[in-house]
A and B are shown apart, each in its own frame.
Chain A
Amino acid sequence: MSLSPDAVLAGLKEIVEEVAGIPAASIELGKNFTDDLDVDSLSMVEVVVAAEERFGVKIPDDKVTELATVGDAVNFIVNAAK
């Protein structure tokens, strides 16, 4: 199943808002999860697990630390879903 980057970004916005209470409007591709959005390491795990369920992909623990920005996560998910 292929996913469009726009669809993944829209889904991620909802997830981050739900998990971390960050308004969806402030979530952009260039934003860093930790520095810009204040998503800490444990909340990041919750985001990742919710994203796995929503998009039907696997995001291994050793990849989570590589997902610094929202854009990194979108790219990873889009590629993993191909």
Chain B
Amino acid sequence: MALNFTPKNRNSRILAVGAYRPSRIIPNSDIVDRIESSDEWIRERSGIESRRFAGPDESVISMSEAACRQALERSGISMADVDAVIVATITYPFQTPSAATELIALLGNPKAAAFDISAACAGFCYGVGMASDLIRSGSANYVLVVGVEKLSDFTDPEDRGTAFIFADGAGAVIIGPSESAGIGPTIWGSDATNRDAILMTPSWIDLKNPESLGWPDISMQGQTVFRWAVYQMAPIGLQALAAAGLTPETLDAFIPHQANMRIIDSMAKSMKLPDTVAIARDVRVSGNTSAASVPIAMDSLLAERPDLHGKTALIIGFGAGLVYAAQAIELPAASSNK
């Protein structure tokens, strides 16, 4: 006998966003000595003036919980009504069980579907795409998507290529069903031929060897990543806009992964975004928080520009893998994002 059911085939949207920024503000002056650099050098190459590092009492889970509670409160949705929780992270320090299951227990709904995804700086946008499709198909009604990193645990403070870039934080969105379209199709994919461009080494297994190379840190080939991000990701952003029936001229905001100000500015130039598009530049005070950067930047942009509530935005994540994902979205409405 054939299966007999009707797919929901409904729309989805982001109902609210929440963010958690660790309390420790780290200016460039606290970084420069160990990488023989200067405040000016860091600003010129990254646009970063300061970043946040989590303290010992701020974990991947505690930061996620705070971001989720803010998103839930702003959405008016009860955690009891959340069917699934997706956590995008590469810095939860346990292989299993997942960060998501630890999080749902703390949030008070230990029965929700819960899992982590490993897509580095693209992880949040991967999660948004999955959540949207879960809702559209009817597998879930409300989904929490969390992007969270404590990169300071996996960064070599003496690495001139990463020490001034990586930072900590968490962001979360609650996604639910919608009468009108609020999340466009996901344009996503990989370029595994550049798998070496961003790497964590050595592996956990290598740590068993007493002659190990040391603690696993994330390293990056800056020029390769810059070239890929600026020249390969701009067309992906334009594809995501076109898939949702938008153009750069009809777009209100651009919220890319906060990798580096130079990448953000060059992408915007390459996409020929008009001056009317608001561009999230949260990297200046938050650094690069990998999976957390898009929702944190979204929260910051809405705080600076409340008129953007309910307006269109292009979100795009790209990073280690190399992997990427992009969507055109409508930002959460003003009434829900207080």
Contact = CB atoms under 8 A, between A and B. Distances in A.
Contacts of A48: 227
A40 to B, nearest CB: 6
A35 interface: no
Interface residues of B, number: 12
A61 interface: yes
Contacts of A44: 223
Contacts of B222: 41-42
A37 interface: no
Interface string B212-232: 000000000111101100110
Nearest to B194: A61
B83 to A, nearest CB: 43
A46 interface: yes
Interface string A21-62: 000000000000000000011101110110000000000010
B219 to A, nearest CB: 15
Contacts of A68: none
A45 B223 contact: yes
Nearest to A38: B44
Contacts of A10: none
A18 to B, nearest CB: 12
A19 B227 CA distance: 14
The interface residues of chain A, by DSSP majority, are classed as helix
Contacts of A65: 223
Contacts of B221: 61
A56 B226 CA distance: 21
B266 interface: yes
A24 to B, nearest CB: 21
B309 interface: no
Contacts of A41: 45, 222-223
A66 to B, nearest CB: 12
Given A41-B222, A61-B224, A46 B266 contact: yes
A46 B44 CA distance: 15
B262 interface: yes
B221 to A, nearest CB: 7
Highest count of chain B CB atoms <10 Å: which of A40, A42, A49, A61:
A42
A44 B227 CA distance: 10
A64 B221 CA distance: 12
A46 B262 CA distance: 11
Contacts of B227: 45, 48-49, 61
B262 A42 contact: yes
Contacts of B223: 41-42, 44-45, 61, 64-65
Given A42-B262, A61-B227, 14 more contacts: A41-B222, A41-B223, A42-B223, A44-B223, A45-B223, A45-B226, A46-B230, A48-B227, A49-B231, A61-B221, A61-B223, A61-B224, A64-B223, A65-B223
Interface of A: 40-42, 44-46, 48-49, 61, 64-65
21 contacts: A40-B44, A40-B45, A41-B45, A41-B222, A41-B223, A42-B222, A42-B223, A42-B226, A42-B262, A44-B223, A45-B226, A45-B230, A46-B230, A46-B266, A48-B227, A49-B227, A49-B230, A49-B231, A61-B227, A64-B223, A65-B223
